[in-house]
Structures are given as C-alpha cells and as structure tokens.
Amino acid sequence: MENLPNEIKRRRDLMKANWVELKDIKSDQQKSVEKPDVIKPYDNTNLIDLPEPDQNDLKIKNIDEVFQIRRSRRQFTDSKMSLTELSYLLHSTQRVQKTFKENIATLRPVPSAGARHPFETYLVILNVQDLDNGIYRYLPDVHKLIYLHTYEGLKEKMIKSVMDQKWAGETNVVFYWSCIPYRAEWRYSIKSHKAMLLDAGHICQNLYLAAESMKYGTCAIAAYDQELSDQLLKLDGEDEFTVYISPVGKQV
C-alpha cells in the first residue's frame, strides 16, 4: 500500500456520517430517475417452494435466553437441516413482510436505511433435506428458492472463497449476502454506503439469533476473498458483489 496513513484516513471517513456536508447533493430519486427494482428480477419458472416455518423447530423461545447463549460457533454435527429449519432462517432474515405502493420499497424482519434493503441472499447448500447441493438464490417476496448452478468440488470452492476457513465446510448451508448498491444510492447517493454496511450487520444478527433458537449456530465471516466469492455466485463484482458471509450448522 503506497500511502497507508492516507488510506486509513479515507476509510475512517467512510465510517463517519456525511449527511451535513452532503445535504446539497441531489440523489437520482430527487432528480426523478426511474426507481430500481427492490428485488433482483428472476425468471418465474422452476421456483422451489419453501414450507412455512414451523414453530416446533424453535427449541428456545425466550428471547433473553437466546441473547445470553448466542456465540459464534465453528463446530457442528453432520445432521441434515430440514427444509422448515432453512425456511425459518430465511423468514427471519430477509423475507418481505410488506411492499410499499408502486414497488418502491419493502419492509423485512431487519431494519434498513430508507427501507432500501439493498441485498440479495445466496445459499451454498451443503446438507439440507430435499435440496441437491448447489447454489441457490432466495426470492424474498414469494419465499421460494431458485436453483442457480453448482460446481464439481462445490465445498472446496466455497472454502477457498472464505480464505480457507475450513470449519465453514462442516455446515449445512452457507449464507452469502450480496449488495446491489444502486438500490440505496438511488435514494441517498454518496450518503448511502455507510448505511449499507450497517444494514448488513442487522441481517447477520437475525441469522445468529434465529439459528441459536433452533440449536444451530453460525459465525459471521468478513475475512473472505472478494473475487472468489463473487465468482462462486457469478456476480459481476461492480453492480452486485458479496458483502457478508455466514455459514450455519447444527450445534454439537
């Protein structure tokens, strides 16, 4: 890195609120530019139904108990995850609860600045009942999955994408959240980037709590290989790219 102190300053600045200095910058929304899709478009054929979540899967229902036992977990059993359990993890992280008029924004179980929810959920399925191993995308408006693709040596490729954190390969499913930044930039221009990173933390926290309540466990991953993760999901790396990863497995 040529000028590390400068780079540190630049990155610290990204962590600060810039609303006051930037109050005169007009966003695309203020310039009446057509709104972006609130969910990445998908082909309606071959969708995979998810069952509704089953309350019986929640082994710990007392929210304070869940807060007290939550940990980042990196050791798992090899039991299969059921589809209702997977359904609950998706339901509690990104499922659309309400769509505003003219599809301008959505509400979900987590907060998001301006209700932009600029994320998509991808799943690397490794050990889930009734699903072939492979890469899927979650469709949060209809609570369904769409199968995308798979690879020879899927698990090994996934492990490489998380910088050789091998414990991730012992899980049932690996959540990858991508960001489509324009969804938030359209409304907040260059004020949106700090907020998008804050938003991502909320999603992962809900995954932690939902997993704990079913005696599963997860561990957030920020130390991942950007290029390999985007390649794994076949994202362009510019208009959509990976921002956070969290593998989920059954607690030992």
Residues that bind ligand FMN (CB under 6 A): 71-72, 165, 219-223
Residue closer to ligand FMN, measured from CB, 8 or 222: 222
Q: Which residues pair with 249 in a beta bridge?
A: 217
CB of 111 to ligand FMN, least distance (A): 17
Distance CA 196, CA 178 (A): 11
Beta carbon nearer to ligand FMN, 92 or 165: 165
Smallest gap, in angstroms, from Cβ of residue 205 to ligand FMN? 9
Residue 249 parent element (H or E): strand 241-250
Query: Would you tell me how many other CB atoms lie within 10 Å of the CB of residue 231?
Result: 15
Dist. CA 160–CA 168, nearest whole Å:
10
Complex with ligand FMN: residue 83 or 248, whichever CB lies closer: 248
Residues in the chain, overall count: 252
- Minimal distance in Å, beta carbon 19 to ligand FMN? 24
Q: How far is the CB of 166 from ligand FMN (least distance, A)?
A: 11
Asked if 200 contacts 244 with a C-beta cutoff of 8 angstroms, the reply is yes
- Strand boundaries in the chain, DSSP class E: 47-49, 98-99, 106-107, 119-125, 134-139, 144-149, 173-179, 216-218, 241-250
Burial status of residue 80 (CB atoms within 10 A of its CB: 0-12, 13-18, 19 or more): middle
Identify which of 38, 50, 225 has the alpha carbon closest to the alpha carbon of residue 123: 50
Q: Which is nearer to ligand FMN, 39 or 232 (CB)?
A: 232
> In the complex, what is the shortest distance from the CB of residue 21 to ligand FMN, in angstroms, rounded to a whole number?
27
In the complex with ligand FMN, which residue's Cβ is closer, 105 or 221? 221
User: Residue 201 Cβ, how far from ligand FMN at the closest point, in Å?
Assistant: 7
Q: Closer to ligand FMN by CB, 176 or 186: give it.
A: 176
Asked if 81 contacts 50 with a C-beta cutoff of 8 angstroms, the reply is no
